[in-house]
Amino acid sequence: MTEMLKILFAVIILFGALLSLLSAIGIIRLPDVYTRNHAVSKSATLGVLSILLGTFLYFWVIEGYMNARVILGFVFLFLTSPVAGHLISRAAYNSKVPLWEKSTQDDLKNKARSTKGKVSQ
Amino acid sequence: MKTNDLILQTATKITVFIILTYSLNLFFAGHNTPGGGFIGGLISAAAIVLLLLAFDMKTVKKALPFDFKKVAALGLLIATLTAMGSFLFDVPFLSHTFGYFDLPIFGKTELATAVLFDTGVYLVVVGVTMTIIQTIGEDE
């Protein structure tokens, strides 16, 4: 039973490592800053959460030691990582980093122009 | 310039409590596990810096109306007085002691005078960090 649980936790941790690797590949392969941000802010978050979950479960079930700081770590990462992604994307858009040339729709374009016109007047 | 930072401000309001709780945890856990006054103070200062990032300086000053230079001075005073308190018991400077007490909620608890010294370190670290950051930030 213990061996089965150990294998299960190893699978969870390896899944997290695989997701982190996928997000790293996403940073290299994707064309512009927004798609890269999309790749990294989602899959790296879930990857780190899986690694933390595997570690927490291992120490809880196998070693009998429950660490509340890891739970706090889940909550904190889950709260802050998407906000960080949002802020980076917004800063990129506001400093006029171009979209990928094959992207077809930019709903914020007119909004950005109208505020820019107001500032210049 | 009017900015729209709703997401950052809402996330900050929630995470600041987590960060401050964690810094208190590190501060009190410092005797037996990694942590202590220095790291606890730095994390508390980081929480206030997060508030400064999300809101402007006037709002944070209204919420935390401390003169951080005085906080640093108070911390130094507490640390020195704790160290000099050992003279009252006819032992060398900076001698610390501990004892076991039965507290109502916690049960048998080890209370050490080193915590008082650590409080001084904590206040000095918070005061110095916030003084540096506010001095840099006020340049206009």
Tell me the pLDDT tens digit for each residue of A1-51.
889 999 999 999 999 999 999 999 999 999 999 999 999 999 999 999 999
Mean pLDDT calculated for residue range A80-108: 87
Search chain B and give the residue with CA nearest A90.
Answer: B5
3-state secondary structure of B55: coil
Q: How far does CA A78 lie from the centroid of its chain?
A: 9
CA distance A3 to chain B (A): 30
Better pLDDT: A108 or B130:
B130
Cα–Cα distance for residue pair B94/B51, rounded to 1 Å: 36
Question: Is there a contact between A80 and B15 if contact means CB atoms under 8 Å apart?
Answer: yes
Closest chain A residue to B8 measured between Cα atoms? A83
Res B77: pLDDT? 95
According to DSSP, the residues that pair with B103 across neighbouring strands are B107
pTM for this entry: 0.82
Is B18 in contact with A86 (Cβ distance < 8 A)?
A: no
Mean pLDDT of chain A: 87
**What is the torsional sign of CA A19, A25, A31, A33?**
positive
pLDDT one-digit tens code per residue, B65-97: 889 999 999 999 999 998 888 888 888 888 888
A83/B7 touch (CB, cutoff 8 Å), yes or no: yes
List CB contacts (< 8 A) between B11 and chain A.
Answer: 79-80, 83
Q: Which residues of A touch B8 (CB under 8 A)?
A: 83, 87
The answer to whether the CB of A74 falls within 8 A of the CB of A52 is: yes
CA distance B93 to B84: 6
Span B40-59, pLDDT tens digits? 999 999 999 999 989 888 88
Is any Cβ of chain A less than 8 angstroms from the Cβ of B18?
yes
**Contact status of B33 with chain A (Cβ, < 8 Å):** no
SS3 B67: coil
Question: What is the nearest CA distance from B108 to chain A, expressed in angstroms?
Answer: 21
CA angle B18, B2, B12 (to 5 degrees): 5
- The 8-class DSSP code of residue B98 comes to E
- pLDDT at A116 exceeding the cut of 70: no
pLDDT in the model for residue B48: 94
Please report residues of B whose CB lies closer than 8 A to that of A80: 11, 15
pLDDT category at B140 given cuts 50, 70, 90 is low
